[in-house]
Amino acid sequence: MQITVKRAEQLKPHPPEDKLGFGINFTDHMLNLDYDTASGWHSPRIEPYAPIVMDPSTMVLHYGQAVFEGLKAYRTQGGEIQLFRARDNIARLNRSCRALCIPELDPDFLMTSLKELLRLEQAWVPGAPQTSLYIRPTVIATDNFLGVRASDTYRYFVILSPVGAYYAEGFNPIKIWVTRRHVRAVRGGLGEAKTPANYAASLYAGEDAHKHGYTQVLWLDGVEQKYVEEVGSMNIFFVIDDEILTPALNGSILPGITRDSVLQLARHWGLKAAERDITIDEVMQAHSDGKLQEVFGSGTAAVISPVGELKYDDQQITIGQGRVGPVAQRLFDAITAIQYGKGDDPLGWVEKIN
């Protein structure tokens, strides 16, 4: 498929790199692609970043048939632009599409078109430490119809946003609230798909957590509310008795690419790392026994995010004296070194855009 390019007549000023925040500013161009049953995915085009004008009956607005991804482009010290495990994000986008009855997209074409968009927008990839260009590929259902069924037409689009740290805390420990009052997802539902419904389901508890001074919610399983699942904006890891543990993927947890990178790197270094069911009681008990050494989250937006405090019912525990632990620090240093081209890439995760 030939990608048409229409350049913006006026380019936007770039925000200062020390004040990027997360997901606030957007670049000059976006990528669009449409689907209908007669033509399949067609008409790829890079166009000026612009609002999507929709009929009020557009299906995505009513039934949430949509999926998205989050990945980043990084500027190396030499000024080159590179992607981290982008093909894994594309594979996950297609898995999410399957879960939401959305027609899959050709992975090679998604990669080619993303690189073309990034080459056009490369001046937007910031160079200051810990900044990057966040990439948000999205698919939405576009039929104008109010019956409940899968849409026959879709729009795929990619927007780009220069970003700094996701959490205001940066790489400092955050405080997490473990909730039993709400659930994010249940097995057999949409929990492992990257779809807006999971984020909508997290808002009420998230607001509650904020009111009590906590940054994020740690979700328990939706059936027994006994097993730890994930944080919504990231996966969760515990270091207990020198072993790195994360909940096994069970259908209701997002299969994070940074999560997988943590597991692969830890094993590459010869550390003990396991995926298994972990109860919240086991975590609290490990803390009482003095064996809970670290807790941290992993995600594209969050990278590695240390957790300094957990609150569960009336128990409030401080982890590692509220400081960044050695495993989280080592992982953060290694993953960011790979992403920014400052260190070895032993597992072949980066790809340049040129």
161 scored as a contact of ligand COI (CB under 6 A)? no
Nearer to ligand COI by C-beta: 255 or 279? 255
Choose the stretch contacting ligand COI; rule: CB under 6 A; options: 235-243, 297-305, 307-315, 342-350.
297-305
Nearer to ligand COI by C-beta: 135 or 295? 135
299 scored as a contact of ligand COI (CB under 6 A)? yes
Instruction: Please select the residue that binds ligand COI; options are 301, 304, 307, 319, rule is CB under 6 A.
Output: 301
Q: How many residues in the shown chain lie near ligand COI by CB under 6 A?
A: 5
Instruction: Please select the residue that binds ligand COI; options are 15, 64, 70, 107, rule is CB under 6 A.
Output: 70
Rounded to a whole number of angstroms, the minimum distance from the CB of residue 18 to ligand COI is: 21
Nearer to ligand COI by C-beta: 163 or 239? 163
Instruction: Please select the residue that binds ligand COI; options are 96, 179, 233, 293, rule is CB under 6 A.
Output: 233
Question: By Cβ distance, which residue is nearest to ligand COI?
Answer: 70
Instruction: Please select the residue that binds ligand COI; options are 82, 246, 252, 300, rule is CB under 6 A.
Output: 300
Rounded to a whole number of angstroms, the minimum distance from the CB of residue 88 to ligand COI is: 12
Rounded to a whole number of angstroms, the minimum distance from the CB of residue 211 to ligand COI is: 21
Nearer to ligand COI by C-beta: 32 or 233? 233
Q: For residues 320-349, which are near ligand COI according to CB under 6 A?
A: none
Contact pattern from residue 251 through residue 290 relative to ligand COI, giving x for each residue in contact according to CB under 6 A and a dash for the rest:
----------------------------------------
Rounded to a whole number of angstroms, the minimum distance from the CB of residue 322 to ligand COI is: 24
- Which is it for the CA torsion 265, 271, 272, 278, positive or negative? negative
Q: Cα Rg for the chain, rounded, in angstroms?
A: 21
| Binding footprint of ligand COI on the chain (CB under 6 A) | 70, 233, 299-301
